[in-house]
Amino acid sequence: ELHAVIHPDIPRITNVGFLVDGSVFHPGDALTVPERPVDTLLLPVMAPWSKISEVIDYVREVKPRRAIDVHDALLTDLARPIYDNQIGALGGADHGRLAPGGTTEL
pLDDT at 100: 87
Residue 45, pLDDT score: 95
**Position 61: which residue type?**
E
Does 1 score more than 90 pLDDT?
no
pLDDT of residue 31: 92
Q: Report the alpha-carbon distance of residue 88 to residue 100 in Å, rounded.
A: 20
How confident is the model over 29-84, as pLDDT tens digits? 889 999 999 999 999 999 888 899 999 999 999 999 999 999 998 899 999 999 99
Query: What's the pLDDT tens digit per position in 72-104?
Result: 988 999 999 999 999 999 999 999 999 889 999
Q: Beta strand pairing status for 24-26 and 40-44? A: parallel
Q: Note the pTM of the prediction, 2 decimals.
A: 0.90
Question: What is the overall mean pLDDT for the chain?
Answer: 93
For helices 80-90 and 52-62, the axis angle rounded to 10 degrees is: 30
pLDDT number for residue 34 = 96
Question: pLDDT at position 40, please?
Answer: 98
